[in-house]
């Protein structure tokens, strides 16, 4: 059956976004990876405007209509947001033909199922042009078209609500956007139905759906195979199968269009005890005891656990890396049993780490040797049983399938999410540092735009924030790409301003800044939405509704055993009462100088969150929002520690609460005080006092930062 709802979910067209420009050769898939954009026109416009403008803006000035065009993205080459994928898809379909595939799946993840990946693993972005962190591309090759030189087919990109707006702008005419949770067919069913139709048209000839087995989890494969059985249950003379394709087909064609990025293997960093709070031998003993008791293992010498997730390996070994931008991790696998710990990595390390490995009986082998090592150990019977994490790739499961293995949730993932007292103290320290940077940045930004009539684009403003952060001791870099967005761009939930050609920040519109830092002490993730002149009534009221939800979740006291799945409604209730909502989760776990998005906990409606109760020691974000497409976006994000609510018990059940550790004030101009309760105003006043008391000693009294902070932390 053909995808009958394609018209309903086709990428929306916007004349402004698709307007061509003369001799445009923009290719964001390539340019974004090279860190550049082409927009000579914008540079010329900015230079000319800087020379011609003087004095401060006057809202009553008749020339305001002319000057406002400076901030408009209408003047930019919007076709630069798309890459023509026709040639790439043709080349890929030829590779699919060599493997007799009717459909090929291109996931976003690397072989460790990482959310954020290195340049070399950005295959989905290369083939589709879509640059968001989440999504999956599916490409068909029509088996009824026998022209091997010009194979035809369809292509879809499936992503979640954070990226609907962005994907609609970045995908070209070859692609159809499938909106997860909105459109009737999932990408899995789309693939199966396309394959089923081709098999039926060819009298039952097998239709193969291919995927690189290293890039898809075994759990996803099992679910996909079950869907095939369900879709074909009442169909005769039809064969559809999911097959593992060795070697990656996108890799086979990549160098025809771009220089393929090199794999990065940077030097490792060993944390000291005052950074991690628990030594390797303690973590190892705790982990092995868990396996022994929970799964009743009698012989740990012949039973091994294979750690796959990069942040779990880093946490377990008290090591950090820098192989993936913004994520202090390195490419590796880790095999753990009673006899030894084997680290598979190609990353260099110094003599101190070498001694550390020897002291802790950690053997180091080349990264890709994991596969031959497992195969040889299984054949020689030296490794007899495996515990495999449920996030493991199809390839890993296939490799150990000839011996005894059990798929389990990784205990390391849960251990990592519960911070010890040193990690929590360090998190507080990191928040103080980042708060200093953010208030200095917002004060500087407002002063430049409002008082000095400066022209600043989104990207350069974000670079100023990075420059300010570099002044802090132990700053290791941003924890993700800064979301610096003005006006309508703020409605793109995970907007990323281009290096060149980003919009000018318009002080008469909302500005949303979502950013974070990696300090040796910890990881931060903070969002503030501000307005520097006069916001509209609609903006003020909707901001206040978002704020009320944020404050309500922060106040929540809840019994042990409560999950983030259960409490998501707390943050949405005020928006819901006005028929409003947002298409992303309310919170995610945050690492300790690790990934900014950390499992397994979170606040949201994803079913897996119901499996992991919040625990004292978790650090989690609180980030409700509201987004009005083509106008503005609002998000308010704090980082919170889960703590025991001392003195509260119900029988033998204890209670927990949140502590907001972020120290950046909310935007006063965007708060409708009339919508706040007495409790909420007291909560805001207490928060502002804590911010002022924590930061005032670090700020020069005559500075613009001091004046900005004093104004923003005044009582309500």
SS3 assignment for 667-679: CHHHCCHHHCCHH
Neighbours of 317 (CB within 10 A): 26
Taking a C-beta distance cutoff of 8 angstroms, is the pair 621, 612 a contact? Answer: no
- State CA 391 to chain mean position distance: 17
Would the pLDDT of 131 be above 50? yes
**Distance set, CA 403 to CA 214, 368, 373, 711 (Å):** 19, 21, 14, 66
E strand segments, 571-705 = 587-589, 598-603, 619-622, 625-628, 632-635, 638-650, 653-660
CATH 3.20.20.80 fits 421-712, yes or no: no
* pLDDT at 12 (0 to 100): 34
Helix (H, G, I), strand (E, B) or coil at 326: coil
Alpha carbon distance 85, 414 (integer Å): 41
> 295 pLDDT band (50/70/90 cuts)?
confident
| pTM of the predicted model as reported, rounded to 2 decimal places | 0.88
Residue 638 bridge partners (DSSP): 622
Would the pLDDT of 37 be above 80? no
Alpha carbon distance 121, 107 (integer Å): 10
* pLDDT at 302 (0 to 100): 73
H or E element in which residue 460 lies = helix 458-469
CATH 3.40.350.10 domain range(s) in the chain: 6-15+81-254, 269-408
CATH T-level topology, domain 6-15+81-254: Creatine Amidinohydrolase; Chain A, domain 1 (3.40.350)
Query: Which of 451, 450, 431 is CA-nearest to residue 439?
Result: 431
What tokens does 431 get?
A: 């928040």
CATH 3.90.230.10 domain range(s) in the chain: 421-712
550-558: average pLDDT: 98
Would the pLDDT of 634 be above 70? yes
Dihedral sign for Cα 373, 376, 379, 381, please.
negative
Strands 653-660 and 638-650: antiparallel
Segment 413-466, tens digit of pLDDT: 999 999 999 999 999 999 999 999 999 999 999 999 999 999 999 999 999 999
Alpha helices in 246-300 (DSSP H): 249-254, 273-276, 280-295
Would the pLDDT of 16 be above 60? no
Alpha carbon distance 296, 507 (integer Å): 63
Would the pLDDT of 55 be above 50? no
> 296 pLDDT band (50/70/90 cuts)?
confident
Alpha carbon distance 344, 350 (integer Å): 16
Taking a C-beta distance cutoff of 8 angstroms, is the pair 410, 387 a contact? Answer: no
Give CA angle at 449 (447, 455), nearest 5°.
135
269-408 sits in which CATH class?
alpha beta
Taking a C-beta distance cutoff of 8 angstroms, is the pair 563, 610 a contact? Answer: yes
Hunting for tokens 């771009």 — which residue is that? 258
Alpha carbon distance 234, 236 (integer Å): 7
Residue 386 bridge partners (DSSP): 304, 405
Would the pLDDT of 600 be above 80? yes
* pLDDT at 299 (0 to 100): 66
Strands 385-389 and 404-408: parallel
Residue 239 bridge partners (DSSP): none
279-289: average pLDDT: 96
The mean pLDDT value of the chain amounts to: 89
472-496: average pLDDT: 96
Strands 136-140 and 103-106: antiparallel
Query: Which of 523, 497, 657 is CA-nearest to residue 597?
Result: 523
pLDDT exceeding 70 applies to what percent of the chain? 88
* pLDDT at 147 (0 to 100): 81
């Amino acid at each position: 059956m053909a995808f009958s709802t394609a018209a309903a979910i086709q990428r929306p067209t916007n004349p402004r976004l698709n307007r061509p420009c003369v001799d445009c050769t923009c290719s964001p898939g390539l340019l974004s990876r090279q860190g550049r954009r082409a927009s000579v026109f914008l540079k010329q416009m900015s230079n000319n405007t800087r020379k011609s403008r003087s004095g401060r803006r006057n809202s009553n000035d008749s020339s305001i209509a002319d000057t406002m065009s400076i901030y408009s993205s209408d003047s930019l080459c919007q076709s630069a947001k798309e890459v023509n994928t026709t040639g790439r898809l043709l080349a890929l379909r030829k590779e699919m033909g060599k493997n007799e595939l009717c459909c090929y799946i291109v996931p976003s993840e690397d072989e460790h199922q990482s959310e954020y990946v290195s340049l070399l693993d950005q295959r989905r972005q290369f083939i589709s042009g879509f640059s968001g962190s989440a999504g999956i591309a599916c490409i068909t090759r029509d088996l009824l078209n026998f022209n091997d030189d010009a194979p035809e087919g369809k292509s879809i990109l499936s992503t979640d609500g954070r990226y609907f707006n962005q994907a609609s702008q970045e995908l070209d005419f070859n692609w159809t956007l499938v909106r997860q949770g909105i459109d009737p067919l999932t990408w899995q069913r789309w693939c199966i139905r396309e394959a089923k139709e081709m098999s039926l048209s060819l009298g039952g000839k097998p239709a193969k759906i291919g995927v690189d087995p290293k890039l898809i989890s075994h759990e996803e494969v099992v679910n996909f195979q079950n869907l095939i059985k369900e879709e074909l249950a009442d169909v005769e003379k039809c064969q559809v199968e999911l097959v593992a394709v060795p070697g990656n087909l996108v890799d086979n064609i990549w160098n025809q269009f771009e220089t393929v990025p090199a794999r990065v293997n940077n030097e490792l960093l060993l944390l000291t005890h005052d950074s991690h709070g628990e030594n390797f031998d303690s973590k190892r003993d705790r982990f092995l005891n868990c396996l022994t008791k929970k799964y009743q293992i009698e012989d740990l010498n012949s039973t091994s656990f294979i750690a796959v997730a990069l942040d779990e390996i880093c946490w377990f070994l008290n090591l950090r890396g820098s192989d993936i931008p913004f994520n202090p991790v390195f490419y590796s696998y880790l095999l753990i049993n009673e006899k030894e710990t084997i680290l598979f990595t190609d990353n260099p390390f110094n003599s101190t780490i070498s001694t550390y490995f020897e002291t802790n009986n950690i053997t180091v082998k080349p990264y890709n040797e994991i596969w031959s090592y497992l195969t040889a150990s299984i054949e020689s019977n030296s490794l007899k049983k495996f515990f495999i994490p449920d996030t493991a790739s199809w390839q890993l499961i296939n490799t150990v399938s000839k011996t005894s293995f059990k798929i389990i949730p990784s205990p390391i993932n849960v251990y990592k999410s519960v911070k010890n007292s040193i990690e929590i103290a360090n998190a507080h320290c990191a928040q103080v540092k980042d708060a200093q940077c953010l208030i200095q940045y917002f004060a500087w930004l407002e002063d430049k735009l409002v008082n000095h009539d400066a022209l600043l684009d989104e990207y350069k403003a974000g670079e100023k924030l990075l420059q300010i952060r570099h002044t802090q001791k132990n700053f290791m870099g941003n924890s993700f790409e800064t979301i610096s967005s003005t006006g309508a761009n703020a409605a793109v939930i995970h907007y990323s301003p281009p290096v060149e050609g980003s919009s000018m920040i318009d002080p008469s519109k909302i500005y949303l800044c979502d950013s974070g830092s990696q300090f040796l002490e910890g990881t931060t993730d903070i969002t503030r939405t501000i307005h520097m002149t006069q916001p509209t009534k609609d903006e003020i009221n909707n901001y206040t509704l978002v704020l009320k939800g944020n404050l309500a979740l922060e106040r929540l006291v809840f019994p042990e055993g409560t999950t983030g799945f259960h409490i998501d409604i707390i943050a949405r209730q005020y928006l819901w009462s006005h028929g409003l909502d947002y298409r992303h989760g309310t919170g995610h776990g945050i690492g300790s100088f690790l990934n900014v998005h950390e499992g397994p906990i979170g606040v949201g409606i994803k079913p897996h969150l119901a499996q992991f109760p919040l625990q004292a020691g978790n650090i989690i974000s609180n980030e409700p929002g509201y987004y009005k497409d083509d106008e503005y976006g609002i998000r308010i994000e704090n980082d919170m520690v889960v703590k025991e609510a001392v003195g509260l018990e119900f029988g033998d059940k204890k209670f927990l609460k949140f502590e907001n550790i972020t120290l950046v004030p909310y935007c006063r101009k965007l708060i409708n005080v009339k919508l706040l309760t007495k409790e909420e105003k007291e909560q805001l006043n207490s928060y502002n006092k804590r911010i002022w008391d924590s930061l005032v000693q670090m700020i020069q009294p005559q500075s613009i930062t001091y004046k900005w902070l004093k104004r923003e932390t005044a009582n309500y």
